[in-house]
Structure 1
Amino acid sequence: MDNGTLIVDDRATSVWVTLNRPDKMNSISAGMLADLENLMALLAARRELRALVFTGAGRAFCAGVDLKAAQERVSGDDGPAANAAFLERLRDVLVKVERFPRPVIAAVNGLALAGGLELVLCCDLVVAAESARLGDAHANYGLVPGGGSSVRLPRKVGPNRAKQLIFSGDFLPAATLAEWGLVNRVVADAELLNATAEMVERLAGRSPVGLERMKRMVDNGLEQPLDAALSYELALNALHARSADRAEGLAAFNEKRTPRFTGR
């Protein structure tokens, strides 16, 4: 990536992305947004991928938008317009993460605050270290969300708990967010990457096209009335009935062997 804010580890069926501004607690800069945007464009054509993983370098997952850079943005004559343009780009990049066709996993290794929490909210699965703390944090600095936490957080944990987290600005333990349904698994700090790799390994044995369609079923179902969501599920099921991976899965079952999925 041109700005050096990401470390990308390509593992064939998965890509691991480390946010790499450890001296700034991996806060989101304009350069990081550009690198993320470029990365998502490159990965869009990778049909063989089973998973995309995000984690952070150093002691934080991501502490949010770089507030020093944000202050510099709003200090000029075009401050409001520059701030709006940055937030629109942040929104667009996070939507690309959220809509990535395969499972996206957050391996939360430390603080995930404000924009960092908003990145977590765009992930399908969340593994967190025991020491991780997550929070919205905007209220602590007189700010309001701009990267989607006011929209996505209530859908993940319910409106009352979302308001508690947003209004208070508190940083909550990963274990609490697991109870709330935001975090899938909490593990010892030293086991975070191994536990995430185990999750990725399980996904690696699944059909890429099947994973894509199941993700679409769930995500689209959340936005539709029940009858429409059930019809959408059947429509994708009918499409999937013609896939080579479905035929391979059934053949493997009958032949008592491990399926060899190709993503078609």
Structure 2
Amino acid sequence: MSDEHLLEHVEDKVATITLNRPDALNAVTREMLKDLYDKVERLAEDPDVGAIVLRGAGRAFCSGGDVKSMAAGKDANASLETRAQTLRNRMEVSRLLHEVPKPTIAMVRGPAAGAGMSLALACDIRIASDTGKIITAFAKVGLSGDFGGSWFLTQLVGPAKARELYFLADAVGAEEALALGLFNRVVPDDKLEEETAALASRLAHGPTVTLGYMKKNLDAAISQPLAQCLDLEAMHHARTSQTEDHMEAATAFVEKRKPVFQGR
């Protein structure tokens, strides 16, 4: 795959990854998904990156998987087990976006459909333009769904609404998506880049070590019992109390100024 189909830019502690197939509404290929995983994994370890933004080029976030390659039947001769395991390996990118110890932001312009929806929902925060749409889309192509969309959607809107959205595959516009909690913010289309940059910069310059532990707490809260979550919170709270960022915040409070966090 040409690197031009997946662009990366780092500025002011914010890494922006752009799905760059605008003529195909940024439909993702296998090579793009592998490259996306590699980029997110590397950026997660980069001390000069405090937040990761995922976006699409042009008028769409991502229309899902590349239907043309599906129609070509690249896996036609592979066994069911091989096809399932190969897909499962590619789907790890959703888990990575969801679990990396740095804030991940999906900047959604236009449709986020199918696997594109799943990638957007995998991120911690979704900021959308007023053109943003969420579409499960899988039923329209006779597929049950992948990349964790059923899990993320159920967590966000509950099982009844998730079933409706999966079965009917109707488009959910920006304002409805905001009301359902699928989008965190909706802004005018011409302000999307500006608002996303401001949000990402705010997070990237925050106490990033602490934000990583917050993510661990919040992920655990989805499936773990209260007692285990309390144990985890106690350990992480004690750990973050030893960070330089906490000491800086305490000093800044006494001195009546804003803290300057270093991510340490």
Q: TM-score range by the shorter chain?
A: over 0.9
SS in 2 for 1:16: strand
Please give the residue correspondences for 1:228-239 in structure 2 after superposition, counting only pairs within 5 Å: 228-239=228-239
1:48 and 1:237 mapped to 2: Cα distance? 24
Question: What's the C-alpha RMSD, in Å, of the aligned pairs?
Answer: 1.7
The residue type equivalent to 1:174 in the other structure is: A
Identity in percent: 35
1:192 and 1:82 mapped to 2: Cα distance? 41
Q: CA deviation at 1:114?
A: 0.6
Please give the residue correspondences for 1:26-175 in structure 2 after superposition, counting only pairs within 5 Å: 26-74=26-74, 76-78=76-78, 80=80, 83-175=83-175
Distance 1:64 1:253, change over 3 A: same
User: Which residue does 2:21 correspond to in 1?
Assistant: 21
1:55 and 1:207 mapped to 2: Cα distance? 24
1:211 and 1:245 mapped to 2: Cα distance? 11
SS in 2 for 1:4: helix
Q: Structure 2: 5+ residue runs without aligned partners?
A: none
Please give the residue correspondences for 1:114-263 in structure 2 after superposition, counting only pairs within 5 Å: 114-263=114-263
Q: Is contact 1:73-1:82 (8 Å) kept?
A: no
The residue type equivalent to 2:231 in the other structure is: S
Q: TM-score, normalised by structure 1?
A: 0.94
Q: Is contact 1:74-1:83 (8 Å) kept?
A: no
Residues 20-51 of structure 1 show CA distances to partners (whole Å, capped at 9, x for unaligned) of: 01111111101101211220232132134221
1:29 and 1:232 mapped to 2: Cα distance? 38
Residues 158-181 of structure 1 show CA distances to partners (whole Å, capped at 9, x for unaligned) of: 111111110001111011111111
The residue type equivalent to 1:192 in the other structure is: L
1:165 and 1:180 mapped to 2: Cα distance? 12
1:3 and 1:248 mapped to 2: Cα distance? 40
Q: Is contact 1:27-1:62 (8 Å) kept?
A: yes
1:82 and 1:109 mapped to 2: Cα distance? 35
Deviates more, 1:110-119 or 1:26-35: 26-35
2:96 and 2:252 mapped to 1: Cα distance? 34
Distance 1:84 1:71, change over 3 A: farther
Deviates more, 1:200-209 or 1:120-129: 200-209
The residue type equivalent to 1:245 in the other structure is: D
Give the count of matched residue pairs. 264
